[in-house]
Structure 1
Amino acid sequence: MGEYPNIADHGLIGDLQTAALVDTNATIDWFCAPRFDAPSVFGSLLDAERGGFCSVRPTTDDYVTRQLYLPNTAILITRFMSEAGVGEVIDFMPVTDGEATDRHRIVRMVRVVRGSMTFEAEIQPRFDYGRATHTMEPDVGVGVRFSSGAQSLTVHRVGEPVHHGGQQAGRVEVVGDGLRITGTLEAGEITGVVLESGGAPPTRVTRDELMTMFLETTRYWRDWNSQSSYRGRWREVVARSAMTLKLMTYAPTGALVAAPTAGLPEQVGGERNWDYRYTWIRDASFSVYSLLSLGYVEEAEAFVEWLMARVHESVGEGSGPLKIMYRVDGTSDLIEETVDDLAGYRGSTPVRIGNGAADQLQLDIYGEAMDSIHLADTHGLQLPHAGWVKLSEMLDWVCDNWNTPEEGIWETRGGRQNFTYGRFMSWIALDRGIRLAVLRGRPAPILRWREQRDAIYEQIMTNGWHAERRAFVQHDATDVLDASLLLMPLMGFVAPRDPMWLATLAAMDTELVSDSLVYRYNPSASPDGLLGSEGTFTLCSFWYVDALARSGYLEEAQLVFEKMLTYANHLGLYAEEIGLTGEQLGNFPQAFSHLSLINAAVNLDYQLDHGSGFVDPVLVSGRRTT
């Protein structure tokens, strides 16, 4: 290997329990098994020499590549085009939509559609982030099994095509600690390999079995995609974002990971390299609106059930009743460590596994959680009695602790502050709790909740507002702006044409917005405890679209949205951030980026259809703003 592709030069495939990244040369350079947060099997994206990979490509260098998804599916096609022929590598994972399992298959189907082409497949697994050795047990003509402790990978060969002379094509050789398979295909011929975790012995896969897996996977994704109720202006990009979110959902529990990757840098060569293969209360709560707005009630319900299970656990430690993030199974052992064996993406170190922010106090998660639960309730997913009792206890805790300094939404490591966003979301938590109690006639200390809710409001209007800056600011000890406050009008805290809000938006336009791109804050003006800089946050850029539309700048909002679509990669995928020259930065793809795209598209459609600034109390976010 030796080279690193751009972060953007990847597609995502998955089976709803784990996922793999495939670059534009059809190399799988990131795959963890048996689930998203398990140790890697292929990790050359974080170390081109020692990380491990599975590549399939022509033996000649005289070709160009193009990549696309099979329409309305998560099946990825990498096309190799040369004067001698055109070949395709079709990658997918048969969907494992049920109980957790160790068995996960990556199907790599190879075919030639014009002329002829010789392909070379190389499989070089490196288990446990490249830290573990492995054994190799070949079964000549059938495949090979690689084993390393509890991890294993089996390579099943697909029946070789028969050429015109009656000769079978294909050569297998051991290369270092891996395997290389070479074969020539003529137009119309199909072969491939099936990679399987879980310890199964190698077997020969027939082409009929290969096609059955392909057709079943195609049918699954097209059936799922057809359930979408979205009929707006941006159907293709919304559908791709929805499928991307689905690919990042752990089906056995309904939990959504923030991203399927770890260690991809926010600044190439810098230290802002985090492990995002976990479920943030914040990110996943925002996904409830995205899912419900597209008609995916089952997925929204599954996550709300997962969320309520965490509420019932009520850890009651320094982070409050909820931790800010969990593993997909609901456990919270996210001890952060560095993997010194990995060189890091283009030298970006340290490579971190686990996440030390898990125990931070971030008050905003209670607002996001309550907002998603309230929204789900208004869509028929009502809480049982036991759930309401635990929510009431959680809201009582918010009453007691909302005025506590905290780490904030961006998980900075520069010390606790009285973050305005955390206060604002505490207001949301109590406001949504009051609404649920009144709507459903549930017992609750409503007078106390109202008193504390109103106290939060008064504090934000007094301490969160900076008179000289004429803007709401990040916290009460600074004049720094913060893009998280773009949610204030969306969630009903301020009227979208309130002069205080319009002044804040104008200040953000001047300081945080670069064309259509939005920085989350200015780290040079507000030290966050980390070295280096970062790109603009795609999440914030889509929040900006909605804020513009609601505030009366509808044409500008639509233009910003269309510009943001140009920053997607060739498959419509987004990382966490966008750099100065439009490059994708950070873990990829990012759930926050895609759910905010969906929300912006749905809300902007409604604004365009009903006039600038119009807010429907049910359809738009399911939130009443009066």
Structure 2
Amino acid sequence: MTQTVRQETAIAEHGLIGDLQTAALVTTDGSIDWFCCPRFDSPSVFGALLDDERGGRFRIRPADPGYTAKQMYLPDTAVLVTRFFTEDGMGQVVDFMPPTGATATDNHRIVRIVQCVRGSMTFEIDVEPRFDYGRHPHHLEMSENGAVFAANGQKLTLHVVREPDDERLLQAFGDGDGHATLPLVAGQTRGVVLESAADGPPREIRPADIKALFDETVSYWRNWLAQSTYRGRWREDIQRSAITLKLMTYAPTGGIVAAPTAALPEQVGGERNWDYRYTWVRDASFSIFALMRLGFHDEAAQFGRWLGDRIRERMGSDSGPLNIMYRIDGSSDLKEDSLDHWRGYRGSAPVRIGNGAAEQLQLDIYGEAMDSIFAGVMGGLPLANQGWTAVSHVLDWLADNWDQDEEGIWETRGGRQPFTYGRVMCWVAFDRGIRLATEKALPAPLERWTAARDAIYRQVMEQGFHESRHAFVQHYNTDVLDASLLRMPTVGMIDGRDPLWLSTMQAMDGELVTDSLVYRYDPEASPDGLRGSEGTFSLCSFAYVDALTRSDRVDDARLAFEKMLTYGNHVGLYSEEIALTGEQIGNFPQAFTHLQLIDAALTLDAALDGRPPR
């Protein structure tokens, strides 16, 4: 007898909601199948995204199996609307999480407003939590106004939204899970609120109270977005990317997670399944730079403080001033483990949590950090004496350590090499430090820093450029191309019209680019210590647009950008990679991709308006 294995909902069939301390993914059929609580990097409560049978979910959908569904964001907000259509009527579920404050809390709310807009519709509600990645069984306590799901000291409280004369909503429960039906006619609004660490038992909530909470949340997002100074051609795409970056920001510290998910595969069925729910210095620095370019300065100031704290923690350390990544609170315990009881997204195992790459040496992070600090200070943010002392410490350490082998930007596990991109970003670190010292008349060993900067430049030009390939290559001991180097003209290491760069672009066009999509590198030509292949990297594809623009190939850049927009999902979100089929794969949504979309659009906008790129 053949056993049927249920398949997880496609990665692209999700929208994202969040409250600036954690986030949830909502499928196009109304199911929350990924939610970690109380933080981004906490164990999951709903994890059907990684195991449809054992992961757990919170689903609201029509009882009529013949429905069709569409999903959208309420304009200029992070409020997600899933609309259902049947022969009898049209209804919708409105999902949001009221933003939390800047103080870390275990209390979080998922609000699910259920409405019948036309005709009539009966909804089914299924609440099936699986605490601690499904490793802890839970028990259920039911009351007239809702239910409490509890396991291992953690609890979720379900509050019912109804009018006083409504019949009891929660009618059927079994095996510790919640199941209910909700018949509605046009104009009726009901729903549920799922709350972690609730103060007290389930309570009855009126639709008017939920409407007030909805209005407050909408107002928060629209007021935040009003700070944007962007008025260019792709305003809606840019604003959605900005909101997505904000949703991935942990408000108490300013750290930005690389993605709110873990273990989504870079190749379906493969082993490249990493946990991205942490703050990479690189990704967060780039994200802050992108937000600053749009006019969002508070996020830059807060991240600057977070980064300064990390540097000061390691003052005097022999292993360098920074790790490549941290937990969102700044701690560095990211021990990697596998969830062997989960099958993984479409059978992609192992399901990894934690990240063993945290201790790698990746020298490029100092360039990205310095670039964001420089941009912030030049944009008007203060640089206190304590901050300059930390910056000086980083550059003094780097002057002694830049010329060594490292693991590189892609966290390969095939051994250290003299990666060209790492050298380029070390050059950026010294260049921005020298500029800061000069512009602000700050004390610095300028002669030493300048000597290091110039030595890196000469080394990259002499050893990073491969004569027979006519291109800059991944590292000095190979002829393999690497899309990370698309950022060379962006950071100012080389002019985009330099013959060395134009021939590099020509080489990449022939080997790494397919229909505007860009591969990171060829893993067969440059073994990275892992089995299998991968899709094209979306951040590289947007970086390609930026590089084309700076190479005076503006028409090519615009076409590539417009093509990339067709690969976004139905609400404008992007995962890490695009498979050959056009399917989104990898962790979702990915901050790196959305920040690079912003950068590419701003550079292309300037070129189309006849302005020089920044």
Q: Per the shorter chain, which TM-score range?
A: over 0.9
Aligned residues: 609
Distance 2:461 2:602 in 1: 30
Deviation at 1:72, TM superposition (A): 1.0
User: 1:188 maps to which residue?
Assistant: 187
Q: Among residues 22, 32, 38, which one is paired with 2:26 in the alignment?
A: 22
Distance 2:41 2:557 in 1: 37
**Counterpart contact for 1:319–1:359, Cα < 8 Å:** no
Deviation at 1:257, TM superposition (A): 0.4
Q: Among residues 133, 146, 150, which one is paired with 2:149 in the alignment?
A: 146
Deviation at 1:169, TM superposition (A): 6.7
Distance 1:584 1:471 in 2: 30
Deviation at 1:267, TM superposition (A): 0.6
Q: State the SS of the aligned residue for 2:204.
A: coil
Matched, 1:6 2:3: no
User: 1:573 maps to which residue?
Assistant: 573
Deviation at 1:382, TM superposition (A): 2.6
Deviation at 1:610, TM superposition (A): 1.3
Distance 2:28 2:322 in 1: 40
Distance 2:167 2:12 in 1: 38
Q: What is the one-letter code of the residue matched to 1:124?
A: E
User: 2:493 maps to which residue?
Assistant: 493
**TM-score, length-scaled by structure 2:** 0.98
Identify which range, 550-559 or 193-202, moves more after superposition: 193-202
1:324-376 Cα offsets, whole Å, 9 max, x none, are 00111111110111111211111110011110000000000000001110110
| Identity score, percent | 61
Q: What is the one-letter code of the residue matched to 1:175?
A: G
**CA 1:599 to 1:161, structure 2 compared with 1: closer, same or farther past 3 Å?**
farther
**Counterpart contact for 1:169–1:183, Cα < 8 Å:** no
Matched, 1:484 2:477: no
Moved over 6 A (4+): none
Matched, 1:83 2:95: no
User: 1:525 maps to which residue?
Assistant: 525
Deviation at 1:515, TM superposition (A): 1.2
Distance 2:495 2:182 in 1: 65
Identify which range, 428-437 or 1-10, moves more after superposition: 1-10
Instruction: Output aligned runs, 1:222-301, within 5 Å.
Output: 222-301=222-301
**CA 1:123 to 1:408, structure 2 compared with 1: closer, same or farther past 3 Å?**
same
**Counterpart contact for 1:261–1:275, Cα < 8 Å:** yes
Deviation at 1:221, TM superposition (A): 1.0
Q: What is the one-letter code of the residue matched to 2:374?
A: H
Deviation at 1:468, TM superposition (A): 0.5
Q: State the SS of the aligned residue for 2:194.
A: strand
User: 1:623 maps to which residue?
Assistant: none
Q: What is the one-letter code of the residue matched to 1:334?
A: L
Deviation at 1:160, TM superposition (A): 4.7
Q: What is the one-letter code of the residue matched to 1:196?
A: E
**Counterpart contact for 1:160–1:170, Cα < 8 Å:** no
Q: State the SS of the aligned residue for 1:21.
A: strand
Instruction: Output aligned runs, 1:122-521, within 5 Å.
Output: 122-139=126-143, 141-160=144-163, 168=167, 170-200=169-199, 201-314=201-314, 319-521=319-521
Deviation at 1:161, TM superposition (A): 7.8
Distance 2:433 2:261 in 1: 35
1:525-559 Cα offsets, whole Å, 9 max, x none, are 00000011100011001111011011110011011
User: 1:562 maps to which residue?
Assistant: 562
Distance 2:176 2:74 in 1: 33
Distance 2:397 2:12 in 1: 42
Deviation at 1:319, TM superposition (A): 4.8
Distance 2:219 2:381 in 1: 28
Q: What is the one-letter code of the residue matched to 1:122?
A: D
**CA 1:316 to 1:327, structure 2 compared with 1: closer, same or farther past 3 Å?**
farther
Distance 1:494 1:270 in 2: 37
**Counterpart contact for 1:133–1:148, Cα < 8 Å:** yes
Q: What is the one-letter code of the residue matched to 2:51?
A: D
Deviation at 1:318, TM superposition (A): 6.6
Q: What is the one-letter code of the residue matched to 2:184?
A: L
Q: What is the one-letter code of the residue matched to 2:10?
A: N
Distance 1:547 1:319 in 2: 34
Distance 1:82 1:243 in 2: 32
Deviation at 1:149, TM superposition (A): 1.8
Q: What is the one-letter code of the residue matched to 2:153?
A: A
Q: What is the one-letter code of the residue matched to 2:136?
A: A
**CA 1:557 to 1:161, structure 2 compared with 1: closer, same or farther past 3 Å?**
farther
Deviation at 1:315, TM superposition (A): 6.0
Identify which range, 551-560 or 301-310, moves more after superposition: 301-310
**Counterpart contact for 1:264–1:587, Cα < 8 Å:** yes
Q: State the SS of the aligned residue for 2:171.
A: strand
**TM-score, length-scaled by structure 1:** 0.96
Identify which range, 338-347 or 185-194, moves more after superposition: 338-347
Q: State the SS of the aligned residue for 1:229.
A: coil
Q: State the SS of the aligned residue for 2:32.
A: strand
**Counterpart contact for 1:161–1:185, Cα < 8 Å:** no
Instruction: Output aligned runs, 1:95-106, within 5 Å.
Output: 95-106=99-110
Q: What is the one-letter code of the residue matched to 1:600?
A: A
User: 2:545 maps to which residue?
Assistant: 545
Deviation at 1:301, TM superposition (A): 1.2
**Counterpart contact for 1:318–1:361, Cα < 8 Å:** no
- Where do 5+ consecutive residues of structure 2 fail to align? none
Deviation at 1:313, TM superposition (A): 1.3
**Counterpart contact for 2:27–2:33, Cα < 8 Å:** yes
1:138-165 Cα offsets, whole Å, 9 max, x none, are 11x2111111123211111111585xxx
Distance 1:486 1:150 in 2: 49
**Counterpart contact for 2:64–2:86, Cα < 8 Å:** no
Distance 2:139 2:31 in 1: 22
Distance 2:57 2:324 in 1: 33
Q: State the SS of the aligned residue for 2:81.
A: strand
User: 2:64 maps to which residue?
Assistant: 60
Distance 2:513 2:493 in 1: 22
Q: What is the one-letter code of the residue matched to 2:240?
A: R
Distance 2:415 2:239 in 1: 40
Q: What is the one-letter code of the residue matched to 2:592?
A: F
1:413-453 Cα offsets, whole Å, 9 max, x none, are 00000000001111111111111111111111110111111
Deviation at 1:115, TM superposition (A): 0.5
- Where do 5+ consecutive residues of structure 1 fail to align? 621-626
Q: What is the one-letter code of the residue matched to 1:57?
A: R
Q: What is the one-letter code of the residue matched to 2:391?
A: L
Q: State the SS of the aligned residue for 1:413.
A: coil
Distance 1:180 1:154 in 2: 15
Distance 1:380 1:293 in 2: 12
**CA 1:315 to 1:150, structure 2 compared with 1: closer, same or farther past 3 Å?**
farther
Q: What is the one-letter code of the residue matched to 2:90?
A: V
Distance 2:113 2:16 in 1: 16
**Counterpart contact for 2:116–2:186, Cα < 8 Å:** yes
